[in-house]
Structure formats: structure tokens, C-alpha cells
Amino acid sequence: MFEIFSTREMALMIWSSIFIIVALLIVKFKDVFDLLRKFFDHKIQIPLWGMFFYIAAITFGFYKVDVWNMILLKDTILWSLTSATILFFNMNKAKESSYFMPIIIDNLKAVIPLEFITNFYNFSFGIEMTIIPVMTFIGVMQIAAENSARTNADHLKTASCLKGLFAALGILIFIYVCYKTAIDYKSLMTVENLKSLFLPVVYTFLLLPFLYLLALYMNYEVLFIRLPYLIENKKERLKMKLNILLLANVNLKKLHKISTNLNFATYTGQEIKKSLKKILKEPN
């Protein structure tokens, strides 16, 4: 069963499990229960499972045209449970279309040779179990030193040393991986490896429409929850909702602008449609 996982994936799963167990022992049980209760709320679970079914539909389409096969099942599941789920829970931050551009850029970076080599060459299990916590520890300490340097300039030197150490270890690993790749390039340059490499990129591109609609829905929901506090009259509130839907439509930027600037003063004594158009015409 575990043969389908690389030594790096096994090491990551073990260290992640250790981290979760330690975190559960430190955090109060009540806090964990509250977090789980919120996670399993239908408002989260329905769109989350909607995303998984959307990914399953994409996978089925690829399977029917002989692009996807069972060899890619592990990569598809891991991507769905990690990258896709992280993107899902970050959609509340999306306020305009430009939010999605960094997602596209980050995924395009995955196809550069460095990513290709480091993703497909794994060290022995023992080395992977050692490298992951060491690199993570150095990275965390560097971030902590950089943050503390804002109040204590002396910590800037520490951050610089840690950054240099992190870079040096990365270069050594990269040189070794390049050497191993050069003497065993035939096993690396396979069709299945290329499919595995491009899978996260292609799936992320195809997931973007779903994520955009999810961000749109979340922004509409937040705005509509506020409306009863602004407009007591149900008829006027319904009229406001319809006008927002007509003017903002599927434009995330317009919706965010209305949501940010809409208050009691913007529509009191004015026509609703006129007041909303006024908001949209105002400079950012």
C-alpha cells in the first residue's frame, strides 16, 4: 500500500502527523471541538464537496479522452486535499479578479527545471526525515528573526545568517540532485512524470472558474447579511438586493466596491439604483 508514496511524501505525512498530535495535546479539547464543529458546518461542507465533485468531473473528462489514468490517482487526491483545499479556504480574501493572477504565476513556476528535478528526485527515507524538519526549523527561525528585527535591529544579522544557511543547504541539495539526474535522466524524463508535473498546473487553471464563483458567492453573502442592519423595510431591502445583482452581476471588483462603500448615508433620500451607480463611479 505504502509503495505508492515517495520517501518525501511518507516523511511529510509522518512529520505532519506528529505536528498535529502535539498541537492537539497543547490546544484545549474545547477549542478543537469548536473548530471541528465550524469545519463541518453545512455552509462550508456543501461548497467544499461541490469543489471535490467539480474536480472529479474534470478527472472523469480527462479519463474519457485517455489523458488521465489510475497512475495519477495519488497525485490528484493529494492535490485536491492540499493545494485545492487551501485555495478554497482563502477565497474569502478574493475581492477582485487580480487576486487570481498570483495563483496562476505560482503554478507556472512549477514547470521550471528546478521544480521538475527537485520534485521527482527523492532521497532515502532517513535523509528525507532529517532534511524536512531541519529546513523547516531554519525557515521558521528566519521568519521569526525578520519579524523581531522590526523592534530589534540586532536580529537582522541573525535573519541574514539563517537566510544564507538556508540558501547554502538548498544549493548543496540542488547540486546533488542535478548530479543524480544527469546519470539517471532516462528514468526521470518519462510521459507519466511529465503528466504528474503538469497535473497541479492544469487542474488549478481549470479550478479557477469555480473558485471565482465561490468568491463571488461569499462576497454576496457577506453583503446581504449586512443589509438588514442598513434597511429595515423588507421591500426596500429586496429592491436593494436586486439592484446590486443587476449592477455588480459577476464583477467581483464592482461587488467589493459596493460592499465597502454602502452605508445608511449612501441611499437615504435617494433612489437605490442612483445611489449604487454613484458608488461605482467614485474613484478607488
Note whether 252 and 216 are within 8 A (CB): yes
State the DSSP string of 52-101. HHHHHHHHHHHHHTTS--GGGHHHHHHHIIIIIHHHHHTGGG--SGGGGH
Q: pLDDT tens for the chain, 284 residues: list them.
A: 455 667 777 887 888 888 877 777 776 666 667 767 777 888 889 999 999 999 999 999 999 999 999 888 888 988 898 889 988 988 888 888 888 888 777 766 655 555 555 566 777 888 888 888 888 888 888 877 877 777 777 777 888 888 888 888 878 877 877 777 777 766 666 777 778 878 888 999 999 999 999 999 999 998 998 888 888 888 888 888 888 898 888 999 999 888 888 876 666 546 777 788 888 887 76
CA separation, residue 172 to residues 123, 124, 144, 218 (Å): 13, 16, 24, 45
CA 124 to chain centre: 29
Distance of alpha carbon 231 from alpha carbon 218, whole angstroms: 20
pLDDT at res. 58: 96
Q: What type of residue is 197?
A: L
Domain ranges of the chain: 2-214, 231-281
Residue 259 C-alpha cell reads as 460592499
pLDDT at res. 284: 63
Of 232, 229, 231, 284, nearest in space to 258 by CA: 284
Note the pTM of the prediction, 2 decimals: 0.75
pLDDT at res. 32: 65
Distance of alpha carbon 99 from alpha carbon 94, whole angstroms: 6
